Chains A and B, each alone.
Chain A
């Protein structure tokens, strides 16, 4: 059974006289436990698609259902709950709350979920160590490098093992060793815990990890192929 079904998604932006196609009749079925890479030139609609699936943006038309539930019909609070409990996000640009330390940022989602303080601390310390940020737990985002911030964001996205992780360029600022480590970690979560991954990336090396590659151009899916990672 499919975890996510996108039917005829359209999202257009009016820019003066021209219409920009963020999403142009996109149809996708994503099975639970998939490990997917989303690629395509800049401006092709990768972020727009991830945002739509995560319920962060309103569509012009089309339907999205996650495990049979019509996400596009949910109200604000229900969408918030869905994101909180089922989806882990890594955003492309802005990820961390500046007044919170790395550890507090990682704990933020768990805190909103209502996880107890001791459990939060235990999990956040462990995951920060796994992404290679041991000893930096108490630094504020401004005191971390771009790559370190990105790893904090990744740690936050996966710390409470959501069913779905939507990661937008999670490796953009990472060296290849950190990248390899992160992808190994993702793959492990995917295989051991059946977490579904959708990763938007420009990085060929990241694409090689995927079992399915979706290629977009101008808001349309132009190629969609399976591969052996």
Chain B
């Protein structure tokens, strides 16, 4: 390229503002397009993040340790011993922010009127809260005091179904390791609310020691749930824990524990890219049109430059430069607009009016837009890369004119 960049930049910049109204309209279009890309992506990210973090809180934990056969048949026969010395040491690590041992067995709960199949969780309440159980979700009564608490905490929905309420007794029945019936009466000490109706209906909490005694399993447990610091990066934590348990234990990160949830993030990435490309396609018509007009208006000038000895390739650069400036300015405005509208919404958008359906999918009724740097980079790259590709056509057209036919036009 013979012409120095400074000269091309100057020419492109001045040409850009010759028809400033057209340029401003195009800038506005690009800015709005970029805003739509980033803003919608932030909302979608917020929704998925919410779904995933709720899903992770329900699991709970980023990584879980089970006996190898537990996941095929989650009954008490496939329990594991309480963490040994090595695992306890591993759980002291920096990578771990909280952990809990739990009993988790299928059980039947009955009131005097009704009975339902539920998942009975024997927990240490303090650890459970550290793992993500929110005590504020208790809408009546209280959460368990300790792992020896003899009460039971059930969901609002389940209480309705069983036609029971706070202070009443329920019977819980399950199997012990020898396949004998194990049952026990509990007093309902608390009623919780959950975003997912299904959770409210099918999960009950009792003290871990109480459940262990009822099932006659000594100190055995069903699982160790471990919380790390970032659910996006469960890998290192998984490896760390895996190294500390015998081979016949299964140590799995959350995306494998809940493959549906795990696929959400990947699906989301694909969806974001598709969305951005679609918005860009809408923009590209305007962009091509603007550049084509700019080229047609300037046929004589382009012919003159060619006649004076500018190579066709430099004409192409010239038009691309102009397009690049337009894109860069539009991107700048779009990014500012997007960040400017997302940041004030960081406390969440109440979408409860339209959220009934979303709760079914595991999202809550307050949406927190998530502005991720990767999405910003992606939106900007999509616009720049595809923008240049779309500008190639007008630029190439401009370079095709024979100098004399261009000059000859009055």
For the complex, what is the distance from the CA of A97 to the CA of B406, rounded to whole Å?
A: 13
Query: B313 at interface (Cβ–Cβ under 8 A)?
Result: yes
- A contact set with B: CB distance below 8 Å: 51, 54, 56-58, 76-77, 80-85, 87, 89, 91, 93-100, 104, 108-109, 111-114, 117, 156
> Is B305 engaged at the interface, CB distance under 8 Å to the other chain?
yes
Smallest CB–CB gap between B312 and chain A, Å? 5
Q: Which residues of B contact A96 (CB under 8 A)?
A: 304
24 example contacts (A-B, Cβ-Cβ < 8 A) are as follows A51-B404, A56-B307, A56-B404, A57-B402, A57-B403, A76-B311, A83-B308, A83-B309, A89-B308, A93-B407, A93-B410, A94-B407, A98-B301, A99-B18, A100-B14, A104-B10, A109-B308, A111-B7, A112-B7, A114-B2, A114-B3, A114-B4, A117-B6, A156-B308
| Contact residues of B: prevailing secondary structure | helix
B406–chain A nearest beta-carbon distance, Å: 9
Beyond A91-B407, A111-B4, A112-B7, 10 extra complex contacts between A and B, CB < 8 Å: A77-B312, A80-B311, A81-B311, A84-B308, A91-B307, A93-B410, A97-B305, A108-B308, A112-B310, A156-B308
Residues of B within 8 A of A (CB): 2-4, 6-7, 10-11, 14-15, 18, 300-301, 303-314, 402-404, 407, 410
Q: Which of B14, B303, B410 contacts A99 (CB 8 A)?
A: B14
Q: How far is the CA of A84 from the CA of B311 in the complex (A)?
A: 9
The distance from the CB of B326 to the nearest CB of chain A, in whole angstroms, is: 16
Chain B residue with the shortest CB-CB distance to A55: B403
Q: Are A112 and B403 in contact (CB under 8 A)?
A: no
* Residue of A77, A87, A109, A112 with most partner-chain B CB within 10 A: A112
CB–CB A112/B314 < 8 A: yes
Name, among B6, B308, B309, B310, the residue most crowded by chain A CB atoms within 10 Å (CB to CB): B309
Nearest A-chain residue to B405, judged by Cβ? A57
What is the distance, in angstroms, from A51's C-beta to the closest C-beta of chain B? 5
Of the candidates B2, B300, B308, B402, the one having the most CB atoms from chain A within 10 angstroms of its own CB is B308
Contact call B301/A80, Cβ cutoff below 8 A: no
Residues from chain A with a CB closer than 8 A to the CB of B303 are 94
Min CB–CB distance B409 → chain A (angstroms): 9
B314, closest chain A residue (CB): A112
Which residue of chain B is the closest to A120 with respect to CB atoms? Answer: B7
Least CB distance from A45 to B in Å reads: 14
Per the bound structure, the CA–CA distance linking A77 and B315 in Å amounts to 11
A156 contacts across to B, CB distance below 8 A: 308
**Cα A134 to Cα B6 with chains together (Å):** 25
Known contacts A77-B311, A97-B301; is-contact A113 B407 (Cβ 8 Å): no
Question: Does B311 lie within 8 Å of A94, measured CB to CB?
Answer: no
* Contacting pair B304 A94 (CB below 8 A): yes
Rounded to whole angstroms, the CA-CA distance of A56 and B306 in the bound complex is 9
Contacts of A95 in B (CB 8 A): 304
Contacts of B301 in A (CB 8 A): 97-98
Q: Are A97 and B304 in contact (CB under 8 A)?
A: yes
Contacts of A109 in B (CB 8 A): 308-309
Q: Which residues of B contact A51 (CB under 8 A)?
A: 404
Task: Contact check, A112 vs B402: say whether CB atoms are below 8 A apart.
Answer: no
Q: Which residues of B contact A85 (CB under 8 A)?
A: 309
Given contacts A83-B307, A91-B304, A91-B307, contact A58 B402 (CB under 8 A): yes
Tell me the minimal C-beta distance from B25 to chain A in angstroms: 20
Please, how many angstroms separate the alpha-carbon atoms of A89 and B300 in the complex? 15
Tell me the complex Cα distance, A97–B18, Å. Answer: 12
Taken together as a complex, chains A and B put the C-alpha atoms of A80 and B307 apart, in Å, by 7
For the complex, give the distance between the alpha carbons of A97 and B306 in Å: 12
Looking at the assembled complex, report how far the CB atom of A44 sits from the nearest CB atom of chain B, in whole angstroms. Answer: 17
Q: Which residues of B contact A77 (CB under 8 A)?
A: 311-313
Taking CB atoms, residues of chain B closer than 8 Å to A57 are: 402-404
- Cβ of B18: which chain A residues have Cβ within 8 Å of it? 99
The answer for the CA separation of A96 and B310 in the assembled complex, in Å, is 14
The 6 nearest A-B residue pairs measured at CB: A84-B309, A99-B14, A83-B309, A57-B404, A56-B404, A80-B311
- Chain B: CB-nearest residue to A115: B4
Interface centre among A85, A87, A95, A98 (most CB of B within 10 A): A98
How far is it, in angstroms, between the C-alpha of A85 and the C-alpha of B309 when the chains are bound? 8
| A104→B306 CA distance, assembly (Å) | 17
Contact B403–A56 (Cβ < 8 Å): yes
- Taking a contact as CB atoms closer than 8 A, the residue among A56, A80, A82 that contacts B407 in the complex is A56
Q: Give min CB distance, A150 to chain B, whole Å.
A: 14
A99 touches B11 (CB 8 A): yes
A43 to B296, CA, bound (A): 27
Known interface pairs A93-B410, A99-B14; A112-B308 also in contact (CB < 8 Å): yes
B313 to chain A: which residues have CB within 8 Å? Answer: 77
Residues of A within 8 A of B300 (CB): 94
Name the B residues within 8 Å of A82 (CB-CB). Answer: 309
B303, closest chain A residue (CB): A94
Whether A80 lies near B304 (C-beta < 8 A) is no
B279 to chain A, nearest CB (A): 32
Question: A91, A94, A112, A117: which contacts B309 (Cβ < 8 A)?
Answer: A112
Shortest Cβ distance from B51 into chain A, in angstroms? 54
